[in-house]
Amino acid sequence: MTLKICGSVAIIGAPNAGKSTLVNQMVGSKVSIVSPKVQTTRNRILGIALYENAQVILIDTPGLFSPQTRLDRAMVSAAWTGASEGDVIAYLFDSKKKSINANDRQTLSRLSEIANDIPIVLILNKIDLIDKPRLLDLATEMNKLCPFRDTFMISAEKGDGVQDVLKYFSSILPQSEWMFDEDQITDMPMRLLAAEITREQVFNQLYQEIPYAITVETEQWEEFDNGDLRLQQIIHVEKDQQKAIVLGRGGDRLREIGARARAELGVIFDRKVHLKLFVRVTDKWKDDPLYYAQWGLTDGK
């Protein structure tokens, strides 16, 4: 009988380092949204990847940055909490950055303090966008700042090197029975996943015009006898001007957001999805813990 392997890997790093893209690549399906805007992952998301006899539970965390609002503080707190829950910590770094900044150094310093207690690996991402000599210098410099167990160089978007990292994770995780069913890819409630997919489409289409003051709530979820799914969602914004941007002229932008989200949801849920979207002005929702409690975030005071 083949012994099973199961354990968790916390993926941490600065905003837009590619954590969600890496998790989605390893899982083989979208479980975490990807957007040109940074700081789009707000909660700890579990992606479940399989490699031979290993079930690798990937904890996709919010980006590490200097928090300004209560929501920001809750996101950063969730990231470090996610890191503490992993059997392994993977620090993902955007290698196309010109230098290691103060926030990066602060993170590396904090990681170095726990490196004796938990395996920590360095993953340099976006290696297709940087010269090899600079890449090697970067790896050397970062290993001086933190005693990483191993270093990997990948392109999460293209998938280059991703399977090597997944194979490595499976080799160092403990022997254990699997925690989830073989066909399960995430522990995220389906209502929340549906809301995240719509939020991704808002960012992808309006990321140069709309700020972070936006969230999506799945208000209604109805399954029909024929297998179809009907969803009603509310896009919360903070100002009337933002509502006008999301709606577009005659509601054309909202219709386009809905069409793209509907198509994506249909693929993820493998059924026909009927989606109705509304836009509501909800003043200062970012400072109200009741709104972001739906993501499993605690008050970031």
Q: Which two tokens stand for residue 6?
A: 């199961």
pLDDT in tens, the chain (301 residues): 678 999 989 888 887 888 889 998 999 887 776 655 444 444 556 789 999 999 999 987 765 544 445 555 555 555 556 556 779 999 999 999 878 988 889 889 888 988 888 899 999 999 998 888 899 999 999 999 999 999 999 999 999 999 999 999 999 999 999 999 888 888 777 888 898 889 889 988 886 666 566 888 899 999 999 999 999 999 988 888 889 999 999 999 999 999 999 999 998 888 999 999 999 998 765 555 555 555 454 554 5
Q: What is the per-residue pLDDT for 63?
A: 57
Where in the chain are all domains bearing CATH 3.40.50.300? 5-172
Where in the chain are all domains bearing CATH 3.30.300.20? 190-295
Q: What is the per-residue pLDDT for 150?
A: 97
Cross-strand pairs, 221: 231
Contact indicator for 185, 58 with CB cutoff of 8 Å: no
The pairing of beta strand 5-12 with beta strand 45-51: unpaired
Nearest alpha carbon to residue 146 among 135, 154, 155, 138: 138
Q: What is the per-residue pLDDT for 270?
A: 85
Q: Which two tokens stand for residue 247?
A: 């709606």
Residue 194: C-alpha distances to residues 64, 133, 188 (Å): 25, 42, 10
Fold entry, domain 190-295: GMP Synthetase; Chain A, domain 3 (3.30.300)
**Strand locations in 206-281 (E):** 214-223, 229-237, 273-281
Q: What is the per-residue pLDDT for 65?
A: 46
CATH of range 5-172; options 3.40.50.150, 3.90.1150.10, 3.90.180.10, 3.40.50.300: 3.40.50.300
pTM here? 0.71
What's the one-letter identity of residue 23?
V
Q: Given strand 54-60, what is the order of strands in its sheet?
A: 45-51, 54-60, 5-12, 88-94, 120-125, 150-153
Q: What is the per-residue pLDDT for 263?
A: 94
φ and ψ of 21, to 5 deg: -60, -40
The pairing of beta strand 88-94 with beta strand 45-51: unpaired
Q: Given strand 229-237, what is the order of strands in its sheet?
A: 214-223, 229-237, 273-281
